[in-house]
C-alpha cells in the first residue's frame, strides 16, 4: 500500500490540472489513469484530435474554394485522409507526452489501471500486470464522460459510430448522417463535408446548438447549408437504424408523426455524453450519485464524503474541458485552505465550425425569462475591414447589456476566430465592464476584435463607428 495526500482519478484536463496545482501547493500527489496515454477524452478522442482534423479539412476546403481568388492557382488537388489521420495521431501523441512530462516535472506519481474504491480512504488500481492499493487523505474523482447511447440505434463502431470512431475514419463517407445538432456532430460533420461527404443532420429539437442564443443557431444553420451543403431535419425523432448491404437505413419521424428513411454509408451518433461513474465502486466509498449518474457535490465540490471531491464531466454543469480545469484548480486550492472562486455563468462555450461560434453569459431567451431589462447591440463582419481582407465576412457579434446599468450580461458571436475573441468578453464580464467601457477601449486596426468594440458601441448608444 502506498500513501498520498491527494489521489486524482482520471488524467483528463480536470484531473491532470488538479494534480499539478495540488503538487504546486505542496501536496504529495498521485494520478490514476486506466488508459496507457494521459490526457483523457479531450486530448485523445475529443477536443485535440477533432481540432487537428478541423484544421486539416479547412486547409483543403480553402485551397479548393478560395485560393484562386487570392491569386493562388492549384490543380489536381485531392484529400489524403490517411495522412490527415496520421497527423492527428501525432498531434495527440505530442500532447499526451507533454502531460506525462508535466507529471514528472511536478513529481506526481502516475498509476495506469482501473481505479475502484475499496473504502472511502482506499483505492484499488487494477493494471495490466500489477494491482496497487492507494491510501489518501483526499480523493478527487475526475473520470470524465463517454458518448451517450440512443434508444433504437445499436452502435457497431463500424458504420454506426460515435465520435471516437469518426476520428479514426480513413475513408471519406459518401453520405454521413449525423444524429444530434450539437457541437460534436456539427464539427465532425464539417470535417467530412469539407472533403467531399454529403452530410445530413437529424435533431430532435427545433434548432441546432439549442443551448446557445437562438440567433447563433439560425445563422450557423444558414451558413452550414450555404457553404457546406448540410441538410437539416429538425424536430425529427430517430425511430431505428438498420444495416442493409453497405448502407445504414435511418428511420426518422417528423413532428406530424410521418416516417422518413435516410440512407447513408455511416451514421454518427452524437446525442451528448454521459458521466463515467460506473465500475468505480462509489457505493463502497459512500459517494452518492444522482438519477443521471452524476456525482452529487456541494458548492465546494465535495461529495457526500467530505474528503472526496469530484470535478468535470462527472458533476453538474456543462461538459467542457476548461470548466473541468477551473474546477481542478478550485479543489486543489480548497484543500490548501485558500478561497478560490468560479463564476459558472462566465464559462464560455465554443463550437469549432467555420465560422466559429462562441457564447458567454446570458442568452437573450434567458434574459426574457428572468424579466431582466436589457438592450442589444450587434455588428456584422461584412462591415469589418479585416474580415473583408481575409474573405471571412460571414457572421456577427451580439452584445446584451443591462438597460439601466449598461453592464454586459451576455456576448454571442458567430465569427472568424470566435473561440479566441470570446476571451475578451469573458474578461470584461468577470470585471463587470459596461458596454461603454469596451466601446472606449482602443482596439488595434484592422482586427476581428474591433467587431466586439463596435457591437458594444451599438448596445451603448446605437452609435457604431463603422456600420
CB–CB of 18/331 below 8 Å?
yes
Q: Answer yes or no: 445 catalytic.
A: yes
Q: How far is CA 233 from CA 19, 192, 262, 352, in A?
A: 44, 18, 10, 21
351: its cell numbers? 463550437
Exposed, middle or buried, 402 (CB in 10 Å: 0-12/13-18/19+)? middle
Of 62, 60, 80, the C-alpha closest to 70 is: 62
Cell readout for 433 is 465592464
Catalytic residue among 175, 341, 412, 445: 445
Which domains, and CATH codes, for the chain? Answer: 2-147+274-344 (3.50.50.60), 160-266 (3.50.50.60), 355-461 (3.30.390.30)
Q: What nine digits make up the cell of 7?
A: 489521489
- Taking Cα atoms as reference points, which of 81, 298, 302 lies closest to residue 192? 81
pLDDT bin (cut points 50, 70, 90) of residue 232 is very high
Q: For the segment 397-445, what is each residue's pLDDT rounded down to a tens digit?
A: 999 999 999 999 999 999 999 999 999 999 999 999 999 999 999 999 9
Let me know the angle formed at the C-alpha of 23 by 18 and 29, rounded to the nearest 5 degrees.
Answer: 80
pLDDT tens, 66-116? 999 999 999 999 999 999 999 999 999 999 999 999 999 999 999 999 999
Q: What is the pLDDT of residues 193-226, one digit of tens each?
A: 999 999 999 999 999 999 999 999 999 999 999 9
Amino acid at each position: 500500500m502506498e500513501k498520498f495526500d491527494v489521489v486524482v482519478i482520471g488524467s483528463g484536463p480536470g484531473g491532470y490540472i488538479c494534480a499539478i496545482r495540488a503538487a504546486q501547493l505542496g501536496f504529495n500527489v498521485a494520478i490514476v489513469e486506466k488508459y496507457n496515454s494521459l490526457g483523457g477524452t479531450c486530448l485523445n478522442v475529443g477536443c485535440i484530435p477533432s481540432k487537428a482534423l478541423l484544421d486539416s479539412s479547412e486547409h483543403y476546403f480553402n485551397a479548393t474554394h478560395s485560393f484562386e481568388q487570392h491569386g493562388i492557382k492549384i490543380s489536381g488537388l485531392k484529400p489524403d485522409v490517411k495522412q490527415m489521420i496520421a497527423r492527428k495521431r501525432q498531434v495527440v501523441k505530442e500532447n499526451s507526452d507533454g502531460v506525462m512530462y508535466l507529471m514528472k516535472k511536478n513529481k506526481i506519481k502516475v498509476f495506469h489501471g482501473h481505479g475502484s474504491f475499496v473504502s472511502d480512504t482506499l483505492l484499488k488500481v487494477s493494471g495490466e500486470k500489477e494491482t496497487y492499493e492507494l491510501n489518501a487523505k483526499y480523493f478527487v474523482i475526475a473520470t470524465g464522460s463517454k458518448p451517450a447511447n440512443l434508444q433504437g440505434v445499436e452502435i457497431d463502431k463500424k458504420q454506426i459510430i460515435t465520435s471516437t470512431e469518426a476520428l479514426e475514419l480513413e475513408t471519406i463517407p459518401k453520405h454521413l448522417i449525423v444524429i444530434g445538432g450539437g457541437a460534436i456532430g456539427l464539427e465532425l460533420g464539417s470535417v467530412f463535408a469539407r472533403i467531399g461527404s454529403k452530410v445530413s443532420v437529424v435533431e430532435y429539437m427545433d434548432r441546432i446548438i439549442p443551448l446557445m442564443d437562438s440567433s447563433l443557431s439560425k445563422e450557423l444553420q444558414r451558413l452550414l447549408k450555404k457553404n457546406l451543403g448540410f441538410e437539416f431535419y429538425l424536430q425529427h425523432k430517430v425511430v431505428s437504424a438498420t444495416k442493409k448491404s453497405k448502407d445504414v437505413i435511418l428511420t426518422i419521424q417528423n413532428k406530424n408523426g410521418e416516417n422518413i428513411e435516410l440512407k447513408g454509408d455511416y451514421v454518427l451518433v452524437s446525442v451528448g455524453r454521459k458521466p463515467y461513474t460506473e465500475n468505480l465502486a462509489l457505493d463502497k466509498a459512500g459517494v452518492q450519485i444522482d438519477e443521471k449518474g452524476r456525482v452529487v457535490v456541494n458548492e465546494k465540490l465535495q461529495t457526500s464524503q467530505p474528503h472526496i471531491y469530484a470535478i468535470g464531466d462527472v458533476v453538474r454543469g456543462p461538459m467542457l474541458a476548461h470548466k473541468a480545469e477551473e474546477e481542478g484548480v478550485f479543489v486543489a486550492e480548497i484543500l490548501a485552505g485558500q478561497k478560490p472562486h468560479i463564476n459558472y455563468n462566465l464559462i464560455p462555450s465554443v463550437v469549432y465550425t467555420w465560422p466559429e461560434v462562441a457564447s458567454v453569459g446570458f442568452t437573450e431567451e434567458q434574459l426574457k425569462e428572468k424579466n431582466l431589462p436589457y438592450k442589444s447591440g450587434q455588428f456584422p463582419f461584412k462591415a469589418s475591414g479585416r474580415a473583408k481582407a481575409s474573405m471571412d465576412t460571414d457572421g456577427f457579434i451580439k452584445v446584451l447589456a443591462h438597460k439601466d446599468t449598461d453592464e454586459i450580461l451576455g456576448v454571442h458571436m458567430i465569427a472568424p476566430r470566435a473561440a479566441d475573441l470570446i476571451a475578451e468578453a469573458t474578461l470584461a464580464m468577470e470585471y463587470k465592464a459596461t458596454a461603454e467601457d469596451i466601446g472606449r477601449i482602443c482596439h488595434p486596426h484592422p482586427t476581428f476584435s474591433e467587431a466586439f468594440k463596435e457591437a458594444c458601441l451599438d448596445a451603448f448608444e446605437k452609435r457604431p463607428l463603422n456600420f
